[in-house]
Amino acid sequence: MSEATSPRVSAQTLKQQAAAAAIELIEPLLAEGVVIGVGTGSTADCFIDQLAVLKNRFRGTVASSERSAQRLQAAGIAVLDLNDVTSMPVYVDGADEIDANLCMIKGGGGALTREKIVASVAQRFVCIADDSKLVQRLGAFPLPLEVIPMARQSVARRLQAYGGKPVLREGFVTDNGNCILDVSGLNIVSPAELESACNNIPGVVCCGLFALAPARIALLAGENGIQRLG
């Protein structure tokens, strides 16, 4: 890579910086009895690693995937069942794309359903990412949908009617035992409308659009520091 095109800060460093900004944001919220919602992915992993330092200052976490639960437990952070938790001040997670309205595409790691469930219980969603995830219009990243296996063909046909090109994520089974269709070619003019439409297709467990309930705050790390949206 030539010097002109080589980034000054690595992608991993940017993820760690976004995670550090989230830690700074949530630290005043930590107290005995407080539960934090934790997302899934490489940026969420950075958040987990930094949260470990504060592990004795709050009750525990709810994880959005088996993968994150294992990382949290390995770091000595308590992982609670969502059924035992009534409220969380915050849910912290990454995104595959985010727009200026804080609508997101998520599910690149296949954890979208549990992510949406845990986020729905939290008072606010804090999205952490490097600033390459900020887009003018969602949809260059193929939209993941978690689908009941027996419905993958019928769901795929419905998505084709919306102009999408669904591709089965080969060899992948979600934590809930379902499959993922990754849908490219969608012209996402109205993310919330498309999310509602996908939610209404029988067999769709969860749509990777987070537009009906977008993030409240985005902390986007770039070469010039953290950009906060929301």
- Told to check if 158 binds ligand 5RP by CB under 6 A, we report no
Smallest distance, ligand 5RP to C-beta of residue 203, A: 20
Pick from 110, 117, 119: nearest CA to 174:
110
Strands of the sheet containing 204-207, edge to edge, are 165-168, 179-184, 143-147, 204-207
| Closer residue to ligand 5RP in complex, CB, 120/153 | 120
Beta-bridged to residue 166, according to DSSP, are 183
- Told to check if 113 binds ligand 5RP by CB under 6 A, we report no
Q: Are strands 90-93 and 104-105 parallel, antiparallel or unpaired?
A: unpaired
Beta-bridged to residue 35, according to DSSP, are 60
Pick from 216, 141, 208: nearest CA to 174:
208
- Is 27 annotated as catalytic? no
CA 199 to chain centroid, in Å, comes to 18
CA distance 95 to 210: 10
- Told to check if 39 binds ligand 5RP by CB under 6 A, we report yes
Smallest distance, ligand 5RP to C-beta of residue 105, A: 8
Pick the catalytic residue from 97, 115, 146, 195.
115
CA distance 98 to 63: 21
| The one among 17, 43, 113, 174 contacting ligand 5RP by CB under 6 A | 43
**The two three-digit tokens of residue 144, written as one number:** 């993941």
Considering only 103-111, 146-154, 166-174, 181-189, which stretch makes contact with ligand 5RP by CB under 6 A?
A: 103-111
| The one among 16, 22, 72, 107 contacting ligand 5RP by CB under 6 A | 107
Smallest distance, ligand 5RP to C-beta of residue 93, A: 5
- Told to check if 68 binds ligand 5RP by CB under 6 A, we report no
Smallest distance, ligand 5RP to C-beta of residue 186, A: 17
